Amino acid sequence: MNALVLEDNPRITGLYEKIFSSVGFEVDFVSDKFACIDKFLNHYKNYDFVILEKSAKFDESVNLEDKILSMNPQQKIFFLSPYMSARNPEFDNICETMNLIDKPFAMVSLLSYLEVNSPDISQ
């Protein structure tokens, strides 16, 4: 599986690197929303899923996840956050390409969740 992870905490990035590499995932890490979008614009790499910490504004009128979906409407996006709830108004229009994973979670649970929710992915 190929993934793109937006994470600004180097310690968490290191943890993700170890866990994902132990199961053979190829993961690109970025630390901000501009680097995230740059991966889609300049690297022409397809990602099986994108992991975002939370919903964030890309600019005054567009959320980062919406910007990603405008470039790839089928892109799977997972939010890993203790700060959001699927019942919040910002998730009223959540589509089948986005999922919310509540923190805290065990990394094994995260890996299983990603595999179950990305059934079209062959390892």
The predicted pLDDT at position 122 comes to 44
pLDDT by residue for the chain (123 residues), tens only, comes to: 899 999 888 988 898 898 888 888 899 999 999 999 999 887 677 899 898 876 677 777 888 888 999 988 889 888 876 555 544 555 555 555 455 555 545 555 666 666 666 655 444
Q: Which CATH architecture has domain 2-116?
A: 3-Layer(aba) Sandwich (3.40)
The predicted pLDDT at position 46 comes to 86
**DSSP bridge pairs for 79:** 52, 100
Is 54 within 8 Å of 81 (Cβ atoms)?
yes
Q: How far apart are CA 77 and CA 69, in angstroms?
A: 9
What token pair was written down for 46?
Answer: 């397809």
HEC string of 95-113 equals CCCEEEEECCCCHHHHHHH
The predicted pLDDT at position 27 comes to 93
Domain ranges for the chain, please list them.
Answer: 2-116
Among 55, 68, 121, residue whose Cα is nearest residue 97: 68
Q: Is the pTM of this model over 0.85?
A: no
